[in-house]
Amino acid sequence: MKTLKVLGTLLTYPSADMLKALPEFQEILVKEKWLPGESLKALDHLVDWMADQDLLDLQEEFVALFDRTPSLCLHLFEHVHGDSRDRGQALVDLSEVYKDSGLLINTEEMPDYLPLFLEYLSVIEAEESRQNLGEIVNVLGVLAGRLKNRQSPYAAVFEALIEAAARKPDAKAVEEALKEAAGKSSTFDDLDKSWEEQNAFENSLQTTGQDMDGGCPKAEDMLARMNLPVENKET
């Protein structure tokens, strides 16, 4: 499923090689016909916008969106577990899901990094991919809403993923999350505060509520934890 890998790549830090590959990305999206026409049009707009940007400007925009704005973070468990200790065990579980599919992480990113998760979905059965997208659809809906509030073309990627998911976001849950954090830019004070409040991970029975000797949970059980977004610290 190259479509999902393309969408994930569009959400990575822009590079000269990526910009050169944009026409090929468009060809893949059209050829696979995995997304509806409206999604393809929106993605074409994103690709055209990226192609027209100076690389340094595009990189600066990417960092401002996804690195400096906590409510737009591309790490899925940040929106589910926040900085709670539960995130540590969830990351371990997701790593095991990747390993069970024969995938080994060769990047410094955490397992819940959305482009990495989409690459995993690109190598499993299409229907299973749709079901897994359905498990994170509320997070996708919130991120799409926040990006639309900023009039960012990147919203097209999240809206396309929602279209591909087996179910639609819970409108009420998304609305409440957008009230908590609409996606505005963070100040340096906001970033300092978010780092001050972080906790260390403890993957133990006391902190995770799971028996480590019992083995890892099934993928669907683990993914179910991504169903609803949690409160964000930054508004």
Q: What is the pLDDT of residues 87-96, one digit of tens each?
A: 777 788 888 8
Q: What is the mean pLDDT of residues 189-205?
A: 41
Residue with the larger pLDDT of the pair 81 and 122 = 122
Tokens of 165: 């998911």
pTM: 0.76
Alpha helices, DSSP H, located in 150-187: 155-164, 171-180
User: How many Å apart are CA 60 and CA 9, to the nearest integer?
Assistant: 17
Residue 205: is its pLDDT beyond 50? no
DSSP for 180-217?
H---PPPPHHHHHHHHHT------SHHHH-S-GGG-PP
Residue with the larger pLDDT of the pair 142 and 227 = 142
Burial class from Cβ neighbours inside 10 Å (0-12, 13-18, 19+) for residue 12 reads: middle
Output the pLDDT for position 64: 94
How many Cβ atoms sit within 10 Å of the Cβ of residue 46?
Answer: 20
